[in-house]
Structure 1
Amino acid sequence: MKKIGILLMLLALTSTTYAQTKLNIGDKVPAIEFSNLLNSETTNTSLTALKGKIVILDFWATWCGPCIPAMKNLIKLQEEFPNDIQVIGIAEDKPERLQRFIDNLPSKVWFGLQTETLEKYFPYRILSHAIIINKEGKIVAITSTDNISKEVIQNIKNGKKISLPFKEENITFDYEADPFPVKNPNAERVLLKGGISGVSSYSRGYLNDKTFNGRRLTIINQTIPSMYRNLYQKSYNRTVLEIDKAAYSYKDPKNKYCLDIISKKADGSMYALGIAKLKETFSVKTKLERRTIPVYVLSVIDRTKLKKLKSTTKKRTLEFRGYEFHAKKIRMTDFTNYIENETPVPVIDETNYLEFIDIDFVFDPQKKGSFKEELAKIGLKLSKAEREVELLVIYEE
């Protein structure tokens, strides 16, 4: 399933000075300096030097899945309007990782790294995040990058007013705090509320909390189908949507909900409590069906290499974001779940390896064959096949 690691992939830093320096639509942008630019004729420039051009600041990261197609679209727009716009991608990345992306995808887009100055003027917490500055140096849009199109650029070029969805974020929201404080931690509770404006979608399982581990699940700003996937612990690849997808679009704030479940015992009953709450509240229904579908099978090609992964640690840790996976004392099924995040179909673990493992897995998504090569280094491979898989079917009667 898409786990809480997705939250780590999306969040950025905050600052107490935002209220004093944050720029908004209609504001004139100061002469911000850009240093250490990559893929540019000069390593240093400023917005003043770019006056007369439409400037698109795209805050993104190479490890952010949705950011990649959005950036590729900006690369195309840069090619179509070479004399009218300048796209500057500001990355939440290590310089060497960003350079590999540039080398694998040549373009006329400039790239730079996040700075304290940019953070103060353009604060955000959810990637990707775009600022469009017109030829006069005024901000005309603060929006999600995937809203930028050829038509938008043409309208700005012709001096027409544009109206893109405003990307409003709750910069002060504390993702580490308990969003729904508990008065009696031993009592059973199922709390369903509307979404929290300007906050990312995430879920929390309280794995390191002695009081709530196995008893509590918090889901923030998810659609009904996404909440069901969380509660059934099924990935998107193992879900069949027999509903009007547009009616449950994540882009519509009215479709986002929060769910906080506390069960009496740490026996997994919190999932059943959550499912029951959704079914009694909404018309959307669910069922589990077994179907034979295309899959990838994870198998062993070198058991000697695989045995080197055997865990030597006592504490379980697990962190991943896009092309990186780092974990201690996990099962192979945990790694399989991560792989499934990176594939278009379910991944079936047929390694028959039952020991705990420690693993550090990093691949280059812009390098063809990188994923396969890195798997081979630890004695594993993926193969196309067909298997009978339990699927979550979400439907309306």
Structure 2
Amino acid sequence: MKKNLLLFLMLITSAAFAQLPVIKTGDTFPDMVIRPVVNAPSPKINIKNLNGAKLYILNFWGTWCSPCIPEMDALAKLQKANMRTLQVIAISDDSPARLKKYLATKPSAIWLASDTGVFLYRAFGLSSVGQSAIVNSKHQVVALVKTHAINQQMINALLAGKKIRSDAETKELPVSNIKDAFGVDSTMTESVTLRGYMKGERSRGFHSPLSRRVSYYNVCSDILYKDAFAINSPKQIRYELDEKEACDFNNKASLYCFDLLVKPEEADSLYSIMQKKLLALLPIKAKIIEQMMPVYVLKKSFAEFKPKLSQSKIPSPAFSGRGFDGTGVTFGMFADKYLNNELDRPVVDETGLDGRYDIKTTVDIRTLDNIVKSVTDLGLSLEKAERKMKVLVFYK
């Protein structure tokens, strides 16, 4: 049944609370305007009024999402190969200005739309970017799929009117509204809980810098161990078993929820206690070894480089695909927590700067070159070298 815009807005409002998708496969796409679009013939698009294609791919992505960039390249090739039948509309939470910067670097015939309020993303109830909705010329949603799975064979099948399996990951309705899912309250001195997949919870972990508690929801065992042993670079990981045994987000049976509260006097030993608990509770084991490996060494570009000390007494390292924004942090934290996740080899801080600073970088498009540039813009350099590093080994 065709939904009018008023009903659509009402449904969106209720979906925000229920965390359930509003638009599903088989639904009619609502009569609505997508805007602003930074490189289409018009700055606003209503699919209902478009007659140039038989299929429209709404790709949810971001310039901050590194896997999304090659997916966009693949979609651009598909669109070029199907010029008369296919139009891709890439929708992100990036600002129009950021999208224009992307286009200046990577010109594209894909139409780029800015949705900073993530309105449409929430409308489909998606759990992550890198997923797409495909709409036909009759304005029906014919598939919700992971973007990397879209290929010519899929396009041909949809053009022939065939049904395909929707495999996009969407949010689930929480099974409980309990404020603390682990049942921890202010009267408890210590506790530890390990349980399986928790329906309705997104994958995440939480630890306040001044806390004696860590909590994780629906994560793999290797993520728990990496945090416990403070290993952030994927180059410092070795698997002596099938990697999917340690982490397979498509298999909910391999996901865990973990919560640890330690005694006030043990707060400084939180992560060493976490290591012992995980080794005792999880079927997958882990150990630390040391070996020589290629690294980047973070150094000052010139000896006189002296950044201003932070006024913040509480370290707050925040980062995303758009860059790093930390207050009261060390350059060791910047290297370990951020650069180790972003670069193609581990990063060792040898700046000699041991104070706490406010460090901010900006990455227009999440590529290795742009991340390195954002570091050099700070007055730092990344030099290739070799160092003896800790390696986290997973085994049974």
- TM-score interval (norm. to shorter): 0.7 to 0.9
Give, as a single letter, the amino acid of the residue that structure 2 aligns with 1:224.
S
> Compared with structure 1, are the counterparts of its residues 263 and 171 closer, same or farther at alpha carbon in structure 2 (3 Å cutoff)?
same
Of residues 204, 207, 210, the one that matches 2:206 is 204
Distance (Å, rounded) in 2 between the aligned partners of 1:222 and 1:15: 28
- 1:17 aligned partner: 14
Q: Per the alignment, in what secondary structure is the counterpart of residue 229 of structure 1?
A: helix
Distance (Å, rounded) in 2 between the aligned partners of 1:268 and 1:99: 46
Asked if 1:81 is matched to 2:78, the reply is no
- 2:111 aligned partner: 110
Identify unmatched segments of 5+ residues in structure 2: 1-10
Alignment of 1:127-142 (within 5 A): 127-142=129-144
Identify unmatched segments of 5+ residues in structure 1: 1-13
Asked if 1:330 is matched to 2:329, the reply is yes
> Compared with structure 1, are the counterparts of its residues 72 and 309 closer, same or farther at alpha carbon in structure 2 (3 Å cutoff)?
farther
Alignment of 1:1-397 (within 5 A): 16-18=13-15, 22-50=22-50, 52-114=53-115, 118=120, 121-170=123-172, 178-207=180-209, 213=211, 215-235=212-232, 236-247=234-245, 248-264=247-263, 265-304=265-304, 306-337=305-336, 338-365=338-365, 369-396=369-396
- 2:8 aligned partner: none
Distance (Å, rounded) in 2 between the aligned partners of 1:392 and 1:137: 50
Q: Per the alignment, in what secondary structure is the counterpart of residue 142 of structure 1?
A: strand
Q: Per the alignment, in what secondary structure is the counterpart of residue 183 of structure 2?
A: coil
- Cα deviations across residues 215-242 of structure 1 (Å, max 9, x unaligned)? 2111111111122112212112321122
Asked if structure 2 preserves the Cα contact closer than 8 Å seen for 1:34 and 1:46, the reply is yes
Distance (Å, rounded) in 1 between the aligned partners of 2:346 and 2:367: 23
Asked if structure 2 preserves the Cα contact closer than 8 Å seen for 1:53 and 1:85, the reply is yes
- 1:3 aligned partner: none
> Compared with structure 1, are the counterparts of its residues 273 and 151 closer, same or farther at alpha carbon in structure 2 (3 Å cutoff)?
farther
The alignment's TM-score, normalised by the length of structure 2, stands at 0.86
Q: Per the alignment, in what secondary structure is the counterpart of residue 384 of structure 1?
A: strand
- Cα deviations across residues 286-311 of structure 1 (Å, max 9, x unaligned)? 1111011111111112233x313322
> Compared with structure 1, are the counterparts of its residues 72 and 290 closer, same or farther at alpha carbon in structure 2 (3 Å cutoff)?
same
Q: Per the alignment, in what secondary structure is the counterpart of residue 383 of structure 2?
A: strand
> Compared with structure 1, are the counterparts of its residues 217 and 67 closer, same or farther at alpha carbon in structure 2 (3 Å cutoff)?
same
Give the C-alpha shift of residue 348 in structure 1: 0.6
- Cα deviations across residues 137-164 of structure 1 (Å, max 9, x unaligned)? 2112223323323322221122211013
Q: Per the alignment, in what secondary structure is the counterpart of residue 31 of structure 1?
A: coil
Give the C-alpha shift of residue 316 in structure 1: 3.2
> Compared with structure 1, are the counterparts of its residues 168 and 372 closer, same or farther at alpha carbon in structure 2 (3 Å cutoff)?
closer
Give the C-alpha shift of residue 381 in structure 1: 0.2
Distance (Å, rounded) in 2 between the aligned partners of 1:369 and 1:395: 35
Distance (Å, rounded) in 2 between the aligned partners of 1:63 and 1:364: 8
Distance (Å, rounded) in 2 between the aligned partners of 1:98 and 1:335: 26
Distance (Å, rounded) in 1 between the aligned partners of 2:361 and 2:83: 39
> Compared with structure 1, are the counterparts of its residues 111 and 287 closer, same or farther at alpha carbon in structure 2 (3 Å cutoff)?
same
Give the C-alpha shift of residue 191 in structure 1: 0.6
Distance (Å, rounded) in 1 between the aligned partners of 2:261 and 2:87: 50
Asked if structure 2 preserves the Cα contact closer than 8 Å seen for 1:104 and 1:366, the reply is no
Give the C-alpha shift of residue 117 in structure 1: 5.7
Asked if structure 2 preserves the Cα contact closer than 8 Å seen for 1:123 and 1:171, the reply is no
Asked if structure 1 preserves the Cα contact closer than 8 Å seen for 2:66 and 2:366, the reply is no
- 1:7 aligned partner: none
> How large is the RMSD of aligned CA atoms in angstroms?
2.8
Give the C-alpha shift of residue 363 in structure 1: 2.9
**Stretch deviating more after TM superposition (19-28 or 317-326):** 19-28
Aligned length: 377
> Compared with structure 1, are the counterparts of its residues 35 and 200 closer, same or farther at alpha carbon in structure 2 (3 Å cutoff)?
same
Distance (Å, rounded) in 2 between the aligned partners of 1:175 and 1:344: 41
Give the C-alpha shift of residue 378 in structure 1: 2.6
> Compared with structure 1, are the counterparts of its residues 100 and 198 closer, same or farther at alpha carbon in structure 2 (3 Å cutoff)?
farther
The percentage of counterpart residues that share the same residue type is: 28
Give, as a single letter, the amino acid of the residue that structure 2 aligns with 1:110.
W
Distance (Å, rounded) in 2 between the aligned partners of 1:286 and 1:116: 39
